[in-house]
Amino acid sequence: MSQKPEEIIGSLITIGDEILSGHIGNSNAHYIASELHLNGFRLANMVTVGDQEKAIRRALLEVVGRAHFIICTGGLGPTDDDRTVAAVADALERPAEKLGNDVTAAGFFLEHWNTPCYFLPGVPSEMRMFMEEHVLPDLFRRFPTRPLYRKRILRVQGLPESLINERLEDLDTADLQVEIGYLPQTAENWVTLLATAEDTVAAEELLQRADQEVVRCLGADTVSGRDDEALEVVIGRLLRVQSWKLAVAESCTGGLLAERITAVPGASDYMDRGFVTYSNTAKVELLGVPPEILSNHGAVSHEVAKAMAEGARSRARVDIAVAITGVAGPSGGTPGKPVGTVFVACATASRTLVLQHRFSGNRRQIQEKSAQATLVLLWKQLMA
């Protein structure tokens, strides 16, 4: 193994009364931190101060000399330009020069003993433009040798945190040279892989090896995709490959399932229709659910989920259909079928699968978990 290059350390200052008062979150800081990290720079700290010249000056003087570079955002709107620039010039006793030639957005730069200091507007789109066009290219020039970080997210379906931990116990992470983390989401779990290397190829190789190891431990039928590859994207690809058409029928999720499927560009290639059968009458009329099944078993039942999926498939004359019926709450629960009881079903020409779930959480979380569980069932059926 070669020696790791020296870490390049930065400080980030965000200026904004509206962040300190909690009116808005600091999404600029999140974006900048993420961009720097992925490009091999490390932030030692982030500081947020108000719109007062004194506070800005003080924050600058505290970080200058302790970092290889400083990024400062906010306080550079068309009206308060002068304030930040004055504070900067005053604090560092250096003139500032304008970044780029854009007349609608203002960014500034100055160098304080070899420390580059970048001053960007707080408007997110303008800040991003300056980051991409000026700050990162300039940092690359100044610090060509630096560790490189690459991240990968593995999207894990249908495994609770405890099982993931148990199955990952076998991994020898030291040997993998990849930091493995865990980020629970509402309806799926993410395993994150973080590799540090000198170049992209080496980092990608490390990630690839760790990815295979994690998949081996967790089981291939639990990792549905990577990074931005949501389950509905993977499903769309599988449907398109098989030239299959899909219909969905949903009750307690009220359209959420259809919405997730159609959020994918080009979904019209495989999505035929969705039935949001909120009332029992709608279940009978649109899906042909027999009224006696509804009265004998209740709308939230194995039998109704099955009839909904089969009805959606035959009424829409499609290859595959999924259905959800459940109690999302907060009301509507019974001792036998408490809030969170959800049946999901998937019907093809050859068979219909039905699964019962008991989800925890509020109405929204139960709806999200129900939609996800249905997508998981659909995904597994398409992979079978």
Q: Of 216-255, which residues contact its own copies (CB under 8 A)?
A: 248, 253-255
* Among 236, 231, 263, residue whose Cα is nearest residue 155: 231
Residues 3-22 that bind its own copies (CB under 8 A): 18-22
H or E element that contains 355: strand 352-358
Residues 135-154 that bind its own copies (CB under 8 A): 149, 151
Residues 19-78 that bind its own copies (CB under 8 A): 19-27, 29-38, 42-50, 55, 59, 62
CA–CA separation, 109 vs 85, rounded Å?
10
Question: In angstroms, what is the minimal distance from the CB of 99 to its own copies?
Answer: 22
CA–CA separation, 55 vs 361, rounded Å?
43
- 263 belongs to the binding site for its own copies (CB under 8 A): yes
- 359 belongs to the binding site for its own copies (CB under 8 A): no
DSSP string, 8-43: EEEEEEEE-HHHHTTSS--HHHHHHHHHHHHTTEEE
Task: Choose which of 275, 343, 359, 379 interacts with its own copies (CB under 8 A).
Answer: 275
Sketch the per residue contact string, 174 through 203, with its own copies: x for CB under 8 A, - otherwise.
-------x-x--------x-----------
Q: Which is nearer to its own copies, 78 or 95 (CB)?
A: 78
CB contact set of 141 (below 8 Å; sequence gap of 6+):
none
Q: Which is nearer to its own copies, 123 or 221 (CB)?
A: 123
Question: In angstroms, what is the minimal distance from the CB of 95 to its own copies?
Answer: 27
Peptide bond into 184 cis (omega under 30): no
Question: In angstroms, what is the minimal distance from the CB of 86 to its own copies?
Answer: 20
- Applying CB under 8 A, the span of 87-95, 97-105, 136-144, 263-271 interacting with its own copies comes to 263-271
- Pairing between β-strand 97-98 and β-strand 8-15 as defined by DSSP bridges: unpaired
81: which 2 tokens? 């330009």
Direct distance between the N- and C-terminal alpha carbons of the chain, in angstroms, rounded to an integer: 42
Task: Choose which of 131, 135, 203, 267 interacts with its own copies (CB under 8 A).
Answer: 267
- 131 belongs to the binding site for its own copies (CB under 8 A): no
